Structure 1
Amino acid sequence: MRYTIIANPASGKMNINQKLSTLAKAAEILEAKINGLDTVTADELGQCARELAACCDVLVIAGGDGTFSDIINSIDTTRIPVAYLPLGTGNAMRNAFQYKGDLADIAMRIRGGNIHEYDLINCDDKVKAFMVSVGIEGTVIRLRNQYVAQGGSGLKTYLKAVINSYFKEYNRASARIAIDGELLEVKNLLSLMVVKQPYYGFGMNVVPKARFDDRQLHIVCINTGLFKSVIGGLSAFTIGNRIGQYHTGLQVTVNLDRPLTLQFDGNEGWDAETFTFTTLSKALKIKC
């Protein structure tokens, strides 16, 4: 089986030479060349992915959650299997795939693993994703990106963005949420999470029951105050989130009383008053 690695020069904290060194053993195990580190923009990385996908059996994505999202939105993942080497900061997908050990260990697992067919989320027919949310997370991502541009990184920067979003920047909205046609009315929306796997970055288990392969969207709606929100955050880092209303369904439509920003796969999305999410069954072929 022919493997090719595509790496994002902008993900994580390492420079290009450090990434080449870090990926060297994994590349040797997979007998793969490392590509993509000479790209400058997300569009160039996407074009590189399409070219590489045409001449390999498995495209191995080395980067963070955002890189993984960018690549799976650049190629036909129902036809081209991918794999994942975590090189980012939050690395939700490392936990989602239950990876253990270093990159060499993960490369060995990829090499010996099977190809699975997993579901994704269709977001307004614009992007496919493995985790999306409407609410405070869009503000958190915007602030985090600002802090990273100023030299911040890691969990400390993320928590700073969360605190400033909660107390200063995020203004709650009212929402009418239809899940397979059943209406849920929510005032003071803090977060509506629609996911296909349990994790946010830094190991936060926000939707413990979520699964990649059950053809369902997993939905958690949260409108709690400060105390319960803190409890939810702490439990997500330990035993798994225990707050919010949990639902499953095939389609979710959200109507808001004012525009909010979509978060998808750790990326800042677009602002809108209405969002629609549907299940994309077996949309992702992945070797793991």
Structure 2
Amino acid sequence: MLTFDAYLNPLLAAGAPGIWAVSVFRSFGTLIFSLGSFVSGTEGEASELLQLVRTPGAKEATEFRPLSVSAADAALHWWIEHLNLLFGVLSDLSPFADREGDYQPAKHLEALLTFEQIFRRTTSMLVAHRDTNARRTLLFTILDSMEGVRGTNLITMFTLGHATKVLQRLETCIPSPAAEILLPTARRAVSALEEMQQGFFIRRQLGTVTVDLQLGPGNTRHLSVEAATALYLKILRDATHGHGSDKESSKAQTAALLAHHDGEIPHDVSLLGYLYLIDILAHPERLPRVLFRGGK
């Protein structure tokens, strides 16, 4: 029971900072009670002493649309159905074999631990509404873990075009009633990533289409705003180990990108971790090939 809560909690926190349901653990299973609508999960002022220690959090209120009568039931059914499909993949031994077809239990265990870690950290990211720094750090570790189970790298996951395509797929494959609960947060993630592109203020002042990085005498690199934003987020991710590139070839580009952006990172950018978790759940059929890793 305490293990399964890891896989249910992202659903319960899907509308954070709004709460649409609560769960109760019993010996026979988990009971989930729908509230019928999104209810604010935060208070305007500190509700406990620890919250008197101020940390930067969300700067804008989140608006929620009313839920239809069937939304809660549809979201719960979709989530459980796709968890079942996910567990079907994770309980199959074949993706965890080597090139000779021999089962590798260590490889299997690592995958199980990785998925539980992704779900737990996604929940922690969703509920960190009052702490932008904690939420962003959790985003980076979530996406680090997802690289090996989605088959896409960090730069791709930070790219607006890719995030938009993922959201469009989800809009198509998730039934409308379930989407009322499951997709508002994913939409906020994509909107925040698009908003972040406006932070390249030098480009705006010069009126250029691209972000033009001066990397040295006679060396200018022209990046689309989309590519520059993805690289900027990658720099922030790398900076969890401390700012400053270890690669000589990257130092000039890193410094130029930091200089070109105003440093305003929308709070909801971190919700990209939730967007890609929903994508994993929606398409478990892609997992066996990625998890097999050519038998490595």
Q: Which has the higher contact order (CA 8 A, sep 6+)?
A: 2
Instruction: Indicate whether the TM-score tops 0.5.
Output: no
Determine which structure has the larger helix proportion and give its number: 2
Indicate the structure (1 or 2) with the bigger Cα radius of gyration.
2
Question: Under a length normalisation based on structure 2, what TM-score does the superposition of the two structures give?
Answer: 0.24
Between Structure 1 and Structure 2, the one with more strand by share is: 1
